[in-house]
Amino acid sequence: MVTNPSSPSKNITHPLVNTLVQLQELILVRSEQDASMVDKHLSQLDNSIQALLNSIPKETHDLFQRIEKKDVLAIVPISNNVCSGCGLTLPVSLVYAVRAGEKLYQCTNCARILYYPEVRPRRISRKIHGRSEPRRSGIARFSSLSLMTPNLHSTDRDKVIEELAMKMEAEGFVDNGTKLVDAALEREAIMSTAVEHGIAFPHVRGVEGGGLTLALGINRKGIKFDSAERTLTHIVFFIVIPTAASVFYLRLLSGLTQTFLKKDTREKLIAAQTPEELWQVLVKTTRTTIK
């Protein structure tokens, strides 16, 4: 079932901004379905997207679609006085105007619509690997041994998400695991991130302050991740995504899906008994699909 995203915080004050944020979220969800090779919900998503488009004034509708044709992100939050879409430091007067919400404002550099966001968890600006190490490639750019959990203790969806989010906080990758959990469950309420073959990709977008980051957890008995499906989930990729990395996330999702369509690669992950083994399998199996 497709539902509209829950209403953002009261900090989003312009009456149209909430609708545009919901619209963009549904468009991104549809893109995720394409990237993960799932098509059973596409018609529902298309109907929901069209309904939201029809609900906004023509001038705003046309503006949104003009921007979206250039980039999937048509509306972006301000983060520390910076446009999170292009990285431009915005004039303080523009930030105050966006926050006041009397009309829609656009970034003076990339022309995306701006909004002042709710308080979100932040990615802590730290390196996944040490300064003395060479630049990593592949999956190692986005994850590390410390984010591998080969034996998830949790046995239901919400607790699994909490376990992986708090792992990210404990390892120093995000500043507020609790808010991360709340945001991830809001995303699950729109549409389950579980896909075929016992894999799920719960995630949170808009986690600014660093790069895209991935944690991996395994539950051999299986978790009921999607209440509408019979298939149990055994492999959970939990991902935090800065706004500017939303498009790249879709490529990462596609690469992970292609890798683990193969039964033998899934079995290798599930068979790993230690974080070290799980990390080695993840790096090796994604070597050709994630650059």
pLDDT of residue 228: 78
| pLDDT per residue as tens digits for the range 98-145 | 999 889 999 999 999 999 887 677 877 554 544 444 557 899 999 999
Query: Where residue 95 falls among pLDDT bands split at 50, 70, 90?
Result: very high
| pLDDT per residue as tens digits for the range 198-223 | 999 999 998 988 889 999 999 999 99
- pLDDT of residue 231 exceeding 90, the answer is no
- pLDDT of residue 63 exceeding 50, the answer is yes
pLDDT > 70: percent of the chain: 91
pLDDT of residue 129: 46
- pLDDT of residue 148 exceeding 60, the answer is yes
pLDDT of residue 229: 76
Mean pLDDT along residues 255-280: 96
Question: Where exactly are the structural domains of the chain?
Answer: 15-115, 138-285
| pLDDT per residue as tens digits for the range 3-21 | 555 444 444 567 899 899 9
* Level-2 CATH architecture, domain 138-285: 3-Layer(aba) Sandwich (3.40)
Mean pLDDT along residues 220-234: 89
CATH code for residues 15-115: 1.10.287.1490
pLDDT of residue 134: 52
Mean per-residue pLDDT of the chain: 89
- pLDDT of residue 165 exceeding 80, the answer is yes
Looking at per-residue confidence, does 268 or 79 come out higher? 268
- pLDDT of residue 255 exceeding 50, the answer is yes
- Report helix angle 15-35 to 246-259, nearest 10: 30
* pTM for this model (two decimals): 0.86
pLDDT of residue 121: 75
Mean pLDDT along residues 65-69: 92
